[in-house]
Amino acid sequence: MEFLSRTGTRRGSAKWIAAPLAVTCALGCAVLSSLRAGAEPFLFSHRLHVQEERLECVNCHEDAAQSDEPGMPAPDTCLFCHDLIDEGRPPERRVANLFEGEELVRGVRPGELPDEVRFSHARHAGGELECGACHARVAAGDRVTASMRVDMARCMGCHREMSQPNECAACHEVIARDWAPPNHELQWRRAHGRVARAATSAPAESCALCHQESTCAACHAVEEPASHTNYFRRRGHAEQALLDRDTCAACHEPDSCDSCHRDARPMNHTGMWGGVRSMHCLGCHFPLTSERCVVCHVGTPSHLNATPMPAGHHPAMNCRQCHGVTQPLPHVDKGDNCNECHF
C-alpha cells in the first residue's frame, strides 16, 4: 500500500483497491466469527471437562443415577462455574448461548430413545456400570455426534455378557417376534432375498432376530423364489451357478445338482459337447469320486468297447505325440492313461 501511494495516480488506484479489500476482510472476519460461534454441531467439549478438568458425569447430569431419564444440564448448573469463566468471552462463546430458557438446544443427544423403547437409565447407571461403559466416546470427544449413540448391537452384546434377557419384550413396548417391521411391506417378498444375502451386522436388519434358518427352507419348499422361472429351470440356473454358486448354496446342498441330473441330463450335453479337447466336465463336476468318464457315461457301449491298440503300438509309447496333433481324436482327452482302455 505504501508503494501505491507514492504517486497521485497510484494513490487513486490504491483507493479503488483498498475499498474492496476492506470489504472482503470485513466479510471474511464476519464469516470466520460465525464459524467460530456456531458452525460446530456442539460447542461443549466433554474431553475438556471430563478428562482435563476431572469432573464427574453427575456433576452436570445430576439425576443420571436416580431417574429413568438421564436429564440434561440446566443453565444454573453450568453457570456455577461459567459465571466467572464467561466474563471475558464474547456473547456467542458463553455457555448461555447453548440454551433457550431452561432448554438445552444446541447439540445432539446420544441417549435420546424413541418412546417405544423401554429403558431405565437409573437401573443401568445406579448399579455397577460406569458411565464410560456406554458413553466412552462421548467422554473423550470435543463434540457430540449422532455416531456416538448407543446402538442396539451394543445393548444386546452387553445383555449377553451380563446374562440379561435379550428378548424383544425386554426393551420394546410394541416390537415383538410376531411384529412385522415397516420394510416388510410392498415389495418385501421380492427384495428380502437380497437383504438376507447381504448379511449386514446391524441387528435391525438381521433376519436371525425373528427367523430360524429352517424358516427359509420351509417357505421355499412350498413357494419357489420368483427368479425360478421355467427358463431358469431349463437353462438359466446353470449360468447363475457358474457365476455365483454361493447363492445356490443358500438353499441347495452340494449333491442337489447330482441328484437332479442323475435323471435329467443337461440340455447342452449333446454328442461331442465342448469339443474333443475340452475339459468341460471338470468345470462343474469337481471334485469327482473318480476321473473316469464312466462316472457319468455308464450306459454308453463305446466306452466299454474301446478300439484295440493298432499293430506296432505298445504301452510305452507317448500316444499324445501323434493323436490329437496330426491324428484326430474321437473323444475328449482328459489326461487319462490311454492304455487303461486301449490295449
Asked if residue 175 belongs to a domain, the reply is: no
Asked if residue 225 belongs to a domain, the reply is: no
Residue 13 C-alpha cell reads as 488506484
Q: What is the pLDDT of residue 18?
A: 41
Asked if residue 266 belongs to a domain, the reply is: no
Asked if residue 83 belongs to a domain, the reply is: yes
Asked if residue 180 belongs to a domain, the reply is: no
CA distances from 120 to 72, 160, 291 (A): 15, 18, 66
* Residues 66 and 161 placed together within one structural domain of the fold: yes
Asked if residue 315 belongs to a domain, the reply is: yes
Q: What is the pLDDT of residue 289?
A: 59
- Averaged over successive runs of 10 residues, the pLDDT of the chain (343 residues) comes to 35 38 40 39 77 89 84 87 88 84 76 83 81 87 83 87 87 83 80 78 74 81 81 83 78 78 72 59 60 61 72 89 82 78 82
Q: What is the pLDDT of residue 116?
A: 85
Angle at 52 (CA atoms; ends 49, 54), nearest 5 degrees: 70
Domain that holds residue 14: 4-38
Total number of domains constituting the chain: 5
Nearest to 127 by CA among 46, 51, 54, 64: 64
Q: What is the pLDDT of residue 277?
A: 55
pTM of the model: 0.49
* Residues 34 and 140 placed together within one structural domain of the fold: no
* Residues 299 and 235 placed together within one structural domain of the fold: no
Asked if residue 183 belongs to a domain, the reply is: no
